[in-house]
């Protein structure tokens, strides 16, 4: 192709047709410029497409992580409910105080397993979010790949605020458990459900209720995180469907 254009220029010069030569040369320059602009446009389009694909992949990974988080939250809540059910079978504190909103969270109460009564002395497992995809997005400085900034803010709030609030609540539970462990080592090891029930009016029962209350607030925060995760999953679905 280059040889073809060169031959045309040579023939025009040879025939002393300089005006046509200059017109042709200008035309050729314009064609080259247009070719460069088109190539740049295609390259930019490819780059945007790659960024969109990368951003969508991050969203899919975060969505998958949140789905696993919901399953984990359900398993932790199931374990938490054992403590609430045992205490509630002895004392009606959760259902007698309106601020606990026990009627709103009936899933946290059930038939108590009296063989597992000593669970009230211990903290339950903590919720550990699967957040590797979000951390990778932030650590690699690629948050800009999520073009929907409102969606990114929702994701950021979930991981940075809701999860942090959950962690701080768990720290309170750990401290209370340690204090109860030091104060009542014999009871923790040797008591039966009947002993626990008979201690309703004693300080130890009041201390166990305090620990269980904190576990209850933790459970409510975990329910909020679970619900928020479901909302973010729906927002990601809408974004990916566009």
Residue 58 lies in a domain: yes
User: Within a domain: residue 8?
Assistant: no
Measured distance CA(127)–CA(215) in Å, rounded: 12
Secondary structure (3-state) at 233: helix
Quote the pLDDT of residue 205: 93
In a domain, 195, yes or no: yes
For residues 107 and 129, what is the distance between their CA atoms, to the nearest angstrom?
A: 22
Three-class secondary structure of residue 158 per DSSP: helix
Answer whether residue 40 is part of any domain: no
Fill in the DSSP letter of residue 124: P
pLDDT block averages, 10 residues each, the chain of length 242? 50 51 56 64 62 83 96 94 94 93 94 91 92 88 86 94 90 94 93 92 93 96 96 95 85
Nearest to 124 by CA among 230, 217, 187: 217
User: What domain count does the chain have?
Assistant: 1
Q: Tell me whether residue 27 is in a domain.
A: no
Question: Is 201 among the domain residues?
Answer: yes
pTM more than 0.85: no
For 11-20, write each residue's pLDDT tens digit: 545 555 455 5
| Structural domain boundaries, residue 194 | 51-241
Give the C-alpha separation, 13 to 26, whole Å.
15
Residue 119 resides in a domain: yes
What's the pLDDT score for residue 141?
Answer: 81
Residue 212 in domain: yes
Residue 53 has a pLDDT of 78
Distance between CA atoms of 42 and 50, rounded to whole angstroms? 12
Place of tokens 């809540």: 77
């Amino acid at each position: 192709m280059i040889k073809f254009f060169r031959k045309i220029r040579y023939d025009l010069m040879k025939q002393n047709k300089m005006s046509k030569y200059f017109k042709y040369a200008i035309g050729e320059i314009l064609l080259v410029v247009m070719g460069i602009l088109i190539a740049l446009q295609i390259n930019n389009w490819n780059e945007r497409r790659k960024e969109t694909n990368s951003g969508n992949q991050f969203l899919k990974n975060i969505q998958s992580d949140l789905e696993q988080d919901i399953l984990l939250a359900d398993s932790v809540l199931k374990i938490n409910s054992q403590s609430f059910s045992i205490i509630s079978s002895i004392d009606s504190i959760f259902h007698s105080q309106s601020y606990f909103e026990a009627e709103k969270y009936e899933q946290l109460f059930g038939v108590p397993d009296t063989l597992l009564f000593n669970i009230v002395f211990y903290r339950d497992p903590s919720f550990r979010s699967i957040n590797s995809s979000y951390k990778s997005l932030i650590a690699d400085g690629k948050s800009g790949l999520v073009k929907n900034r409102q969606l990114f803010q929702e994701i950021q709030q979930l991981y940075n605020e809701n999860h942090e609030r959950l962690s701080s609540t768990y720290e309170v539970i750990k401290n209370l458990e340690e204090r109860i462990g030091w104060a009542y080592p014999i009871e923790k090891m040797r008591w039966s459900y009947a002993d626990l029930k008979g201690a309703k009016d004693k300080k130890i029962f009041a201390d166990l209720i305090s620990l269980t209350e904190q576990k209850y607030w933790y459970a409510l925060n975990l329910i909020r995180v679970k619900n928020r995760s479901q909302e973010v999953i729906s927002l990601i679905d809408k974004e990916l469907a566009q």
